[in-house]
Amino acid sequence: MEFQFESLQAFFWMKGHGPYVWASYVITLVGIVFLAAFPRLQRKQLFKLMRANKLRQEAGANTSTSNQPSRELESE
């Protein structure tokens, strides 16, 4: 088997094209990680917001019924 490059440094340098090649790999990897992680973060945030809204509605329902006088007491 014959290698294309004489050394590891030559592999990373790629006859002057290495910075462009490796930069494109890094940019692509960052994009893929972003596309994988961002929807998960949004989903987590959505569930947190939904849970907070549910707790707020339950708390509002509990306080609104306890603050109103009972109809039985008014009729007596």
Residues of the chain with pLDDT under 50: none
pLDDT of residue 71: 58
Residue positions counted in the chain: 76
> Which runs of consecutive H residues, i.e. helices, occur in 1-76?
8-13, 18-67, 71-75
Tens digits of per-residue pLDDT, 8-29? Answer: 999 999 999 999 999 999 999 9
Q: What is the phi/psi pair of residue 52, to 5°?
A: -65, -40
**Cα 23 to the chain's mean position, in Å?**
25
pLDDT of residue 40: 95
pLDDT of residue 4: 85
pLDDT of residue 35: 97
The domain limits of the chain are: 28-56
